Structure formats: structure tokens, C-alpha cells
Amino acid sequence: MASPLKSLVHDDSRYQKSFELFLERSSEHQCMRDFIHNLLPDILASIGDGKSHLNVIGVGSGAGEIDLEMLSELRLKHPGVTVDNEVVEPSGQQLHNYRVLVSQKPGLDYVKFNWNKMTASEFEEHWKVKKMTKKADFIHMIQMLYYVKDPGATISFFQSLLDKNGKLLIILVSGESGWGKLWRTYRNQLCNTEISQCVTTGDIKSFLDSKGVSYQSYELPSQMDITECFTEGDEKGELLLDFLTEVLDFSKTASPELRTGVLQLLRHPDCSVESNGKVIFNNNLGVIVIDQLT
Ligand code: SAH
């Protein structure tokens, strides 16, 4: 039976609203920043093979906050380099936000930004049609592989663009997170759509293992306050629930059984801890770093 639920991704404005609220209610970006400042510098140390010009590709960059932090760590690690930065992002609104951020931030003269308003697969198509031979030193895809049809094929394509000592960085929710548990339980009822799927770093690791591709991986602890989801009719709670389930207007369109089941699971100890009247969802992230195929 076809699912009557509509994917949140179909409504860009509600998606962006729920994503912003998620960022406010979670330590998502803080935990990425900790990773970028504490662990990423060592990962970036070996890229570039001594070159004075580096090529970077950001896939699904959103508003660019995280990208700019990575670029500044890259420059600290490789003083004096210039950077060609391809931004691949299908949302016009997000690209606009990114450009505004760049225009407001001083000290970015060493970066040339190329704006590609397109999906990862359109970028791949474009690259192949133009028979591009440019190679990349650093490629990142942060919280975006949920939105491609075939995450494995996307990884393989971008890995093939890596130059000598190049690195591909992937961040997704961890298989061990509350998201992983929620998706393992409700995958078929929630997110079996063409454009959004429930994939964790656990799934990506299994794929890479099956292909014999080696990688490094890290787990980043992160939390999300989902207390508002449990107040019926709470507007913010409903937005967060849409984000968690990736379903547009989940509370209004899901069957009562599905709604009850999801809410029960969300506060189950497998997904959350409860303390001081708050329900804190396990938003742990996983990081995977892949080298150039040798
Ligand atoms: N990397 C940013 C944004 C993550 S949100 C961060 O971590 O903050 C996911 C982003 O992927 C959104 O900006 C969305 O517009 C973009 N996206 C959606 N589908 C995509 C696709 N098929 N290819 C590339 N990016 C996509």
C-alpha cells in the first residue's frame, strides 16, 4: 500500500524552518565545530601533497557556516594556500544565505567560490558531460547523503575525484543514535521515498566494508531537546516531529497508531534520556574519512 505521508523535503520552506529549530534545540553544530577544531586539522594535514593551491568541493553545504569553519582550519594547516571552492547546493535560499555569509566575513580573499545550484547527481552529470579532469584535495558531504538516490554510488563518484592524498569527509547521524533506532523501527512507514532516506554511518560503513574500501571513523556525542514534541498541539513540537520523521505535518497526517508508536519510541531509553523534566534525544553523529582510491 502506498504511504499517504508526504515527505518534508517537498516543502522547502517548512523544511528550512524545522532545520533551523533543530539547530537551536540541538548541539549539532557545536559538536561539528568541536570536531573541526580538535580532530579535522590532523586529518587535513596530509592533503595537497605540498601544493600551493587546493581544490575543495562542498556537497549539500546549506548556509555554509560549517564550510567556512573548515576552510579556516584548512588555511591554518596550510598557510599561504589559495583555495578553489565548489559549492554544490540545490536550495536557492541556502545558496543565497551562504553568499551573504561570505560577503560578511572578512579574510576570505584566499578562496574563490564557485556556486553550483544543483544536486549532487546533477553535479556528477555536469562533470561527466564537460569531461572535467580537475581533481579535488578535500571533499565533504555533511548531513546530505539522505537526499541522494544511491548513497554508495555518490560516494564512489566523489571518491574518484580525489587527487593524491585527497580526503572525502562524510558526516551523518550515527547508527548508534536515537535516529538509528527510530529508523530501524519505522523505516518502511516513514521514509521510503525517492528523495529522502534513512541512512546512518552504520549503513555507509557496511557498504564500504563490502567494497573493501578502507576508512577512518569517529563518533561525535550530540543531543537534541525534544521535550516540546510531547505537548499536544505545540507548534514547535510539531515542527521538530516533522524533522525527526522527515514527514510533512506528521502529527496531522500520520495514523494515530503510528503517531503513538513514534512518540513512545522517541522517549524510550533506546532513543532518549529524561532528566529535570526534559527529554533529551541521542543525536550522536558519525564521521567517516575516505582516502583517494589507490
Ligand atoms: N551541511 C549543512 C547542511 C545540511 S542540511 C550542515 O550540516 O549544516 C542538508 C543540505 O543538503 C540542505 O542544504 C539541502 O538543500 C541539501 N541537499 C538536499 N538534497 C541534495 C542533493 N540531492 N544534493 C546535494 N545537496 C542536497
Ligand 1 geometric centre to CA of 144 (Å): 5
Q: Output the pLDDT for position 294.
A: 76
For residue 141, the ligand 1 atom closest to its alpha carbon is 1
Q: Output the pLDDT for position 235.
A: 97
Q: Is 204 in the pocket of ligand 1 (CB under 6 A)?
A: no
Ligand 1 geometric centre to CA of 290 (Å): 20
Pairing of strands 223-225, 272-275: unpaired
Residue 283 annotated as part of some ligand binding site? yes
Angle at 28 between CA 82 and CA 5, to 5 degrees: 115
- For residue 35, give the C-alpha cell: 570536531
Using a cut of 0.85, tell me whether the model's pTM lies above it: yes
Q: Whose CA is nearest to atom 26 of ligand 1?
A: 60
Check: CB of residue 189 under 8 Å from CB of residue 253: no
Q: Is 197 in the pocket of ligand 1 (CB under 6 A)?
A: no
Q: How far apart are CA 172 and CA 208, in angstroms?
A: 15
Check: CB of residue 278 under 8 Å from CB of residue 267: no
**223 Ramachandran zone, left/alpha/beta (phi>0; psi -120 to 50):** beta
Per-residue pLDDT tens, the chain, 294 aa: give them.
Answer: 445 788 888 898 999 999 999 999 999 999 999 999 999 999 999 999 899 999 999 999 999 999 999 999 999 999 999 999 999 999 999 999 999 999 999 999 999 999 999 999 999 999 999 998 999 999 999 999 999 999 999 999 999 999 999 999 999 999 999 999 999 999 888 865 666 678 999 999 999 999 999 999 999 999 999 999 999 999 999 999 999 999 999 999 999 999 999 999 999 999 999 999 999 999 999 999 999 987
Q: Is 89 in the pocket of ligand 1 (CB under 6 A)?
A: yes
Residue 274 annotated as part of some ligand binding site? no
Q: Output the pLDDT for position 195.
A: 63
Q: Is 196 in the pocket of ligand 1 (CB under 6 A)?
A: no
Q: Whose CA is nearest to atom 10 of ligand 1?
A: 60
Q: How far apart are CA 61 and CA 57, in angstroms?
A: 9
For residue 9, the ligand 1 atom closest to its alpha carbon is 18
Ligand 1 geometric centre to CA of 149 (Å): 13
Q: Output the pLDDT for position 190.
A: 83
DSSP 177-210: SHHHHHHHHHHHHH---SS-----HHHHHHHHHH
Ligand 1 geometric centre to CA of 292 (Å): 23
Check: CB of residue 228 under 8 Å from CB of residue 282: no
Ligand 1 geometric centre to CA of 89 (Å): 6
**60 Ramachandran zone, left/alpha/beta (phi>0; psi -120 to 50):** left
DSSP state of 161: T
Q: Is 222 in the pocket of ligand 1 (CB under 6 A)?
A: no
Q: Output the pLDDT for position 1.
A: 45
47, 75, 265, 64: which is closest to 163 by C-alpha?
Answer: 47
Check: CB of residue 105 under 8 Å from CB of residue 72: no
Q: Is 147 in the pocket of ligand 1 (CB under 6 A)?
A: yes
